């Protein structure tokens, strides 16, 4: 054991000093890299006046790894809309699914259709940026059948109706099949989404997404209230600097 340690030490000593300096000095092994990440699009809430609500969006992300390992993560984010159509929402970081930690809050957004602005507040810089914004029209449901480019085919199945938190809900499942070669795939790829839609609010109360190319995503609105929300949700946080985007 002592002889092996001595040989190792001798080898290290023989490494030229210029080589060591190059590794720890100005020479780098690669350029900066953004890394691998997967963004989860939350439940959509359009700027619709006359349909106020407050809800906590619970998101579960399940990733199946090679070898059978499973990674489960979660986060929550508040979504609030008032009678004027203003929408408040948050972006938060993920935490392990069995963790008691609160997901870190990164940004808050307030979209105001009457003012034509979207205000983005970032906790790290304690800055709110006000930008011009125009609400999108009510989305049109995509037609079933082949896509325009012919690379996929969409089917839609009515799963019935139910009641969630006292609201009438339409249950629908969509299946999109991408044909072989659509994006470099050597065989058909099937993506399914299931929606529980509340017409009264024009919001999905829950969404399940299964795409073999990414993690499974389960989203649900909880603690739902249809009362007029506190105006404080839409105010600039105390101590934040306001910047108007040109």
Q: Is residue 108 part of a domain?
A: yes
Place 22 in a pLDDT band, splitting at 50, 70 and 90.
Answer: very low
Which residues fall within 8 angstroms of residue 92, CB to CB, at 6 or more apart?
75, 76, 77, 103, 104, 105, 106
Measure CA of the first residue to CA of the last residue in the chain; give whole Å: 69
Q: Is residue 117 part of a domain?
A: yes
Q: Is residue 187 part of a domain?
A: yes
Per residue in 175-196, pLDDT tens? Answer: 999 999 999 999 999 999 999 9
Distance CA(141)–CA(214), nearest Å, equals 24
pTM here is 0.82
Q: What is the total count of domains within the chain?
A: 1
Q: Is residue 33 part of a domain?
A: no
Pairing of strands 203-210, 105-112: unpaired
CATH label of the domain that carries residue 126: 2.50.20
Domain that includes residue 112, residue range:
53-136+143-244
Residue written as token pair 């209230």: 225
Four-CA torsion 44, 59, 80, 221, nearest 10 degrees = 90
- What pLDDT sits at residue 32? 65
Per residue in 127-141, pLDDT tens? Answer: 999 999 988 766 678
Q: Is residue 166 part of a domain?
A: yes
């Amino acid at each position: 054991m002592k002889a092996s340690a001595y040989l190792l030490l001798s080898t290290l000593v023989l490494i030229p000093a210029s080589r060591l300096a190059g590794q720890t000095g100005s020479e780098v092994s690669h350029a900066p890299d953004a890394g691998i990440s997967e963004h989860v699009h939350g439940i959509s809430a359009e700027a619709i006046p006359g349909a106020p609500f407050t809800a906590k969006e619970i998101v579960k992300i399940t990733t199946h790894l090679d070898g059978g390992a499973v990674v489960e993560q979660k986060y929550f984010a508040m979504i609030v809309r008032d009678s004027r159509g203003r929408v408040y929402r948050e972006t938060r970081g993920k935490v392990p699914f069995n963790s008691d930690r609160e997901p870190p809050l990164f940004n808050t957004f307030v979209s105001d259709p009457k003012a034509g602005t979207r205000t983005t507040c970032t906790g790290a810089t304690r800055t709110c940026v006000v930008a011009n914004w125009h609400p999108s029209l009510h989305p049109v449901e995509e037609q079933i059948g082949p896509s325009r480019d012919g690379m996929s085919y969409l089917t839609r199945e009515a799963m019935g109706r139910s009641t969630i938190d006292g609201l009438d809900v339409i249950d629908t499942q969509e299946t999109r099949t991408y044909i072989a070669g659509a994006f470099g795939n050597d065989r058909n790829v099937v993506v399914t989404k299931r929606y529980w839609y509340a017409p009264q609010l024009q919001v999905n109360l829950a969404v399940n997404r299964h795409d073999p190319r990414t993690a499974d995503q389960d989203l649900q609105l909880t603690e739902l209230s249809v009362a007029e929300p506190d105006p404080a949700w839409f105010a600039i946080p105390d101590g934040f600097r306001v910047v108007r985007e040109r």
